[in-house]
Amino acid sequence: MVHTLQADGVTFEDVLAELAERRVEFREQRYVPKDFIARLKELGIYRAATPTRFGGQPLAPADFLRRIERISAVDGSTGWVASFGSALVYLAALPLETQAEIYRDGPDVAFAGGLFPVQPAEPTETGFLVDGRWKFASGCMGADVLGVGIPGDETTAGKPRTAVLRPEQVEIVQEWDVVGMRGTGSFDLVVRGAEVPREWTFIRGGTPTVDEPLYRYPTIAYAAQVLAVVGAGVARAALDHAEEVGAGYAGVTGAPKLADRPYYRTAVAGAEAALRSARAWFYEVSNEVWETVLAGDEATDEQNAQLRLSSAHLAKTSSDVVAGLLEVSGTAPINTGHPLQLLHGDALVPKQHAFLGPSMYDAAGAVLMGMPPTTPGFR
């Protein structure tokens, strides 16, 4: 069964309007605060991947992706943080008893992780002694539970584990000075000598203990999709800006306004076509795979490759769209506070992510031709 997000007395538009007023605040402080995470929880973002058995309202991936895209069109950083509402699919690989404890106070749980670099963890009688420092824990300032990467063993087929901790067990070091997605709070996590029970660890993308459709959808591919669609939202914001200002902006030299310049009209139209085409394929593949899962079948290797490829393509297309609009917009975008300059930085981040980089084209191409993927963790 597919649920829609419900929020008593709160509309999506209300929250987006508040976000538009506060996005500068988030950018300047470099993270989305807990009070706004609470607003996203009211919308159901952080129960959209919680198992139904624990009170969740699991959404079809495409439905969740569209919500993240809308948030990202207002603020890419908040869209990026909200996208990790999907990360609860990882926790479905934990023992059911552990999940019951995580959701004890309700289904709206924000999970953030700093999984790399994987840090050594000494085995103990009941689990692992975790100690180290991890990078890129996006959304950690508003998280209810946190994950860090530790080595795997013979029982994990060599894949690393993630150890799940409570915020009070973790120190957050606010190092995050970047040109894009400045408000994601992708800070470092430091853990000193915390013993984590084995049943509070999982393999990312490991076999779920929950038998519901969402947890049969390819997990790592979904993780790539939720980041790629942030770029699409950012590109949509750039196109909306370009189309709105084109009719009114004239350069200081007295040259025709932007909309009167053929190259500008051509660039905007081409960008519109490119983004809409990449989005259409992206959502088409997602819907196809979801129908396969709902029918009780496992997604094929080719379907997984299509998910990965369409995600990488959307991330690249979105970045290219913003860069192209900036190029034809005259001298105005050279100002550091110009909307296109800020959006350009935000659009760059998804494309640079390991899940969405150039290697995905090679790996997907290999699978589509009947060969093994060339990138670890492709599925």
Coil/strand/helix, residue 152: coil
Q: Is residue 375 part of a domain?
A: no
- Same domain as 224, residue 187: no
Q: Is residue 36 part of a domain?
A: yes
Element of type H or E holding 202:
strand 201-203
- The strand pairing partners of 161, in sequence order, are 150, 203
Which of 173, 202, 231 is the endpoint of a domain? Answer: 202
Q: Stretch 71-90: mean pLDDT, rounded?
A: 98
Residue 21 structure tokens: 């007023």
- pLDDT value of position 159: 85
Q: How far is CA 81 from CA 63, 67, 98, 284, in A?
A: 17, 12, 24, 24
Place of tokens 């093994």: 372
Domain that holds residue 58: 12-91
**251/68: higher pLDDT:** 68
How many domains is the chain partitioned into structurally? 3
Is residue 189 within 8 A of residue 134, CB to CB? The reply is: yes
- Same domain as 289, residue 261: yes
- Same domain as 64, residue 30: yes
| 204 pLDDT tier (thresholds 50, 70, 90) | confident
Question: What pTM was computed for the model?
Answer: 0.95
Q: Is residue 4 part of a domain?
A: no
Q: Is residue 373 part of a domain?
A: no
Which among 295, 290, 279 has a CA at the least distance from the CA of 231? 279
Element of type H or E holding 37:
helix 34-42
Which among 314, 341, 230, 325 has a CA at the least distance from the CA of 270? 325
Q: Stretch 143-167: mean pLDDT, rounded?
A: 92
Task: Tell whether the model's pLDDT for residue 5 goes beyond 80.
Answer: no
- Same domain as 76, residue 124: no
Sheet order of strands, 145-150 included: 111-114, 145-150, 161-165, 201-203
